[in-house]
């Protein structure tokens, strides 16, 4: 099916065609028609499924170009993501020349952002703090706002950004809300109630996990991680590589090391200011660097073209971030590789990923080369722990029943049987909890073959 099957204007169809968007993704087919009608939605969607079009297309189609007031606000958790959305929206101006879009991104650019607002933009895009700072004094009227978008809403919640969002969102009059989130957490739904009420409609995606990423688990055999990283980089010879570390201190250490070894490397962490971040992205675009060392903040929503490889020098405490890291490569029908370091005496986190369904190719680092490795045990460590606890509980119950000099009372055998049944029921609940977590994490693994 093409975009012609959706009720879009000819100008929109021409713009999409010119930009190379011909066939809508599954999530676009489900979300765009509802959003065009002005419906409030929560869209559960993985990175790479085309969610940006899910909100840009209906927003632009419903803009009244003769009304010179703000009509849509798009909120993103990071400066980089806000910039990407802005860059994605600008090409539509060719077919909609009267459309005005402004980016509210950096605190240090506040004065420049507020200049030239005698004519209000139709669409404003920015981070929560930046938008709150710019809109709180009534510089722009919000009375005509039709749509508010929360992109990566689960991240907005976790980072505590809704306090800033309240400063401007609650000043609007019953707008349509389009909420995009990788998870449907209860606390997120609760936070959204003050905007949309208790029952927000949900649109889900039904797509297969992408096969474009090959996952490698590398036993570095207790080699120093910096040395191991350099050896792997030299071995795989990446075109564009992202190196992830769980801590900013580790990322800084890796960056300094690679730079001292004369690699063309950049750094992207939460400590950088807006100008430094912008310069890093420019360096990548100009191919001045081909290695980018990142903290996990860069794993969410950041879209860098042509990333061929990802290396995890360690695994994050929250393993859901593994899938965000891996999702930076293998995008848009291109193949990618994700390499993860581990030592064979510390396998708890890798085992959890194995249990969650990651199909690893096992390698061992030897003398600067990646040789075939051996699979680690594929049973879930937490599952083994739960099973052992059940066995111990049943053993104690039976031991109690066989106690010496115990006078068997009526119904005693039934009592023992009931105790064992309760222990087994508790065991099943623990297993179900683990399976729920696995299913939740699996959503983060979904990467489609569709362009955003």
Residue 370, pLDDT > 70, answer yes
pLDDT by residue (tens digit) across 426-444?
Answer: 665 665 555 555 555 555 5
Q: At the topology level of CATH, where does 3-203 sit?
A: Rossmann fold (3.40.50)
Phi and psi at residue 322, to the nearest 5° = -55, -40
Closest CA to 362 of 223, 221, 217: 217
Rounded mean pLDDT, 374-387: 58
CA atoms within 13 A on the CB side of 214: 11
Domains 3-203 and 213-378 share a fold: yes
Residue 448: band (very low, low, confident or very high) from pLDDT cuts 50, 70, 90: very low
d(CA 22, CA 97): 22
Rounded mean pLDDT, 99-111: 73
Residue 49, pLDDT > 70, answer no
Longest distance between any two alpha carbons in the chain, whole Å:
93
What b/e string do you get for 385-422 counting C-beta neighbours within 10 Å, with b at 16 or more?
ebeeebeebeeebeeebeeeeeeeeeeeeeeeeebbee
Q: What is the pTM of this model?
A: 0.53
Q: Give the neighbor-by-neighbor strand order of the sheet with 265-268.
A: 265-268, 291-294, 241-244, 309-312, 336-342, 213-219, 360-366, 369-372
Report DSSP state, residue 19: T
213-378 has which CATH code? 3.40.50.300
Closest CA to 196 of 215, 221, 169: 169
Residue 184 contacts residue 444 (beta carbons within 8 Å): no
Which run of H or of E encompasses 280? helix 274-285
pLDDT by residue (tens digit) across 289-317?
Answer: 999 999 876 556 567 888 999 999 999 88
Would you state the structure tokens that stand for residue 368, as one six-digit string? Answer: 């600067």
Would you state the structure tokens that stand for residue 30, as one six-digit string? Answer: 């489900």
pLDDT at 435: 53
CA distances from 85 to 27, 55, 157 (A): 18, 10, 20
Quickly list H helices, 180-273.
Answer: 186-196, 225-236, 248-260
d(CA 202, CA 189): 11
Phi and psi at residue 304, to the nearest 5° = -115, 125
Q: Give the neighbor-by-neighbor strand order of the sheet with 176-181.
A: 101-104, 123-126, 72-75, 147-150, 176-181, 41-44, 202-203
Q: How far is CA 169 from the centre of its chain?
A: 23
Residue 396, pLDDT > 80, answer no
d(CA 175, CA 117): 22
Residue 379, pLDDT > 80, answer no
Lowest mean pLDDT among 21-25, 38-42, 378-382: 378-382
Determine what percent of the chain is predicted with pLDDT higher than 70: 76
Q: Can you say whether the dihedral through the CA atoms of 347, 229, 337, 319 is positive or negative?
A: positive
Q: How far is CA 52 from the centre of its chain?
A: 14
The DSSP bridge pattern shows strands 360-366 and 213-219 to be parallel
pLDDT at 14: 95
pLDDT by residue (tens digit) across 177-228?
Answer: 999 987 666 677 778 888 887 777 778 754 333 467 899 999 999 999 999 9
Closest CA to 373 of 215, 237, 216, 211: 216
Report DSSP state, residue 399: H
d(CA 50, CA 25): 7
Q: At what angle do helices 225-236 and 248-260 cross, to 10 degrees?
A: 60
Q: What is the CA radius of gyration of the chain?
A: 26
The domain spans of the chain are 3-203, 213-378, 382-441
Residue 447, pLDDT > 50, answer no
Closest CA to 25 of 154, 200, 208, 147: 208
């Amino acid at each position: 099916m093409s975009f012609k099957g959706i009720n879009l204007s000819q100008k929109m169809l021409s713009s999409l065609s010119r930009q190379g968007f011909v066939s809508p993704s599954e999530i676009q087919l489900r979300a765009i028609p509802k959003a065009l009608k002005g419906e409030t939605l929560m869209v559960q969607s993985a990175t790479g499924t085309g969610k940006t079009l899910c909100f840009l297309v209906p927003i632009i189609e419903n803009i009244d170009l003769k009304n010179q007031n703000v009509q849509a606000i798009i909120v993103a958790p990071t400066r980089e993501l806000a910039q990407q959305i802005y860059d994605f929206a600008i090409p539509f101006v060719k077919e909609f020349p009267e459309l005005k879009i402004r980016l509210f991104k950096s605190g240090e650019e506040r004065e420049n952002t507020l200049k030239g607002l005698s004519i209000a933009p139709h669409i404003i895009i920015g981070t929560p703090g930046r938008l709150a700072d710019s809109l709180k004094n009534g510089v722009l009227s919000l009375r005509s706002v039709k749509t508010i978008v929360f992109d990566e809403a689960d991240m907005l919640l976790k980072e505590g950004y809704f306090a800033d969002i309240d400063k401007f969102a609650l000043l609007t009059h019953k707008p349509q809300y389009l909420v995009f989130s990788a998870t449907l957490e209860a606390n997120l739904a609760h936070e959204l109630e003050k905007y949309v009420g208790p029952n927000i409609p949900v649109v889900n995606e039904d797509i297969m996990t992408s096969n474009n990423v090959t996952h490698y688990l590398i036993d570095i055999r207790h080699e120093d991680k910096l040395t191991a990283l350099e050896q792997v980089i030299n071995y795989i010879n990446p075109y564009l590589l992202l190196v992830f570390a769980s801590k900013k201190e580790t990322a800084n250490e890796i960056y300094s090391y690679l730079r001292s070894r004369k690699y063309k490397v950049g750094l992207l962490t939460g400590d950088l200011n807006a100008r430094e971040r912008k310069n890093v992205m420019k360096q990548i675009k100009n191919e001045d660097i081909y290695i980018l060392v990142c903290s996990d903040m860069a794993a969410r929503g950041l879209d860098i073209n042509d990333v061929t490889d990802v290396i995890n020098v360690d695994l994050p405490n929250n393993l859901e971030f593994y899938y965000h890291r891996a999702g930076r490569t293998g995008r848009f029908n291109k193949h990618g590789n994700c390499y993860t370091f581990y030592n064979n005496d510390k396998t708890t986190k890798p085992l959890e990923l194995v249990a969650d369904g990651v199909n690893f190719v096992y390698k061992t680092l030897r003398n600067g080369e990646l040789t075939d490795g051996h699979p680690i045990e594929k049973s879930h460590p937490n599952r083994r722990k739960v099973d052992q606890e059940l066995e111990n509980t049943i053993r104690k119950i039976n031991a109690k029943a066989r106690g010496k000099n115990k006078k068997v009372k009526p119904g005693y055998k039934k009592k023992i049987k009931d105790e064992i049944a309760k222990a087994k029921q508790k065991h099943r609940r623990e297993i179900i909890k683990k399976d729920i977590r696995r299913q939740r994490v699996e959503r983060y693994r979904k990467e489609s073959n569709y362009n955003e």
